Amino acid sequence: MMDFRRVCVGIITKPVGIKGQVKLHPYTTSPDFFLQHTRLFLNNGIEIVLQCPRIDQSGDVIVCIENIKNRTEADGFRLQEVFVPREELPQLGEDEYYYEDLVGLHVVDDKHEQLGKVNAIHDYGAGTFLEISLPDMKTATISFNRETIIDVDFQVCEVVVNKRFLLL
């Protein structure tokens, strides 16, 4: 098992061809990440080593996984998330965040009235959204941009949002 803090950086979507290659969809800002980071881990802690990574026209990464020799073996990796140890990730600039760090933060409005907690982060291609668990067992979402997010304060573990943009 993994005994380090890990961050999900992508998901293996499907096998490609007959020689054991797989398509990896990156959750990183650039698929180039997988050209330098070839040592990854699956959710169950098993280490995988990527070989011969190349980026396809859609921005996904086509790779071989060490010791996987055919399509049947590659199919066993379908929909497996891949992780990297946190300490191997680059330092971020101001106003940059790893999604992983936002999950669990308290969500408050500009008057510091408690609204809920960040439950998950979603990016459907048109932008990033925070999924917020509300106290009444409901969820809300809010777009993650400069207009809707007033502040992210890790010192007090909270995200300050413009409440009028909450989607209930």
Higher pLDDT, 20 or 125: 20
Q: What is the CA 110 to chain-centroid distance, rounded?
A: 27
Q: Give the chain's domain count.
A: 2
| Residue after which a domain boundary falls, among 68, 88, 108 | 88
CB 74 within 8 A of CB 20: yes
Over the stretch 114-158, which tens digit does the pLDDT of each residue have?
A: 999 999 998 776 788 999 999 888 999 999 999 999 999 999 999
Instruction: Answer whether residue 22 is part of any domain.
Output: yes
Per the confidence metrics, is the pTM higher than 0.85?
A: no
Share of the chain above pLDDT 90, in %: 55
Q: What is the CATH number of the domain that holds 75?
A: 2.40.30.60
Q: Are residues 122 and 151 part of one domain?
A: yes
Q: Are residues 105 and 160 part of one domain?
A: yes
Q: Are residues 121 and 79 part of one domain?
A: no
Classify strands 106-108 and 158-161 as parallel, antiparallel or unpaired: parallel
Does residue 2 carry a pLDDT above 60? no
* Averaged pLDDT for residues 19-46: 88
Q: Are residues 124 and 79 part of one domain?
A: no
Indicate the range of 9-18, 56-65, 117-126 predicted with least confidence: 117-126
* Averaged pLDDT for residues 30-38: 86
Q: What is the CATH number of the domain that holds 149?
A: 2.30.30.240
Share of the chain above pLDDT 70, in %: 97
Band of pLDDT at residue 4, cut at 50, 70 and 90 = low
Q: Which two tokens stand for residue 95?
A: 């106003």
Q: Which of 17, 6, 2 is nearest to 68 (CA)?
A: 17
Q: Are residues 29 and 78 part of one domain?
A: yes
Q: Are residues 84 and 103 part of one domain?
A: no
Q: Are residues 128 and 61 part of one domain?
A: no
pLDDT of residue 125: 65
Q: Are residues 73 and 11 part of one domain?
A: yes
67: left (phi > 0), else alpha (psi -120 to 50), else beta?
Answer: left
- What domain range is 126 assigned to? 99-165
Instruction: Answer whether residue 94 is part of any domain.
Output: no
Q: Determine the Cα–Cα distance for residues 117 and 103; give it in Å rounded to an integer.
A: 8
Q: What is the CA 82 to chain-centroid distance, rounded?
A: 10
Q: Are residues 152 and 116 part of one domain?
A: yes
Q: Determine the Cα–Cα distance for residues 132 and 116; give it in Å rounded to an integer.
A: 6
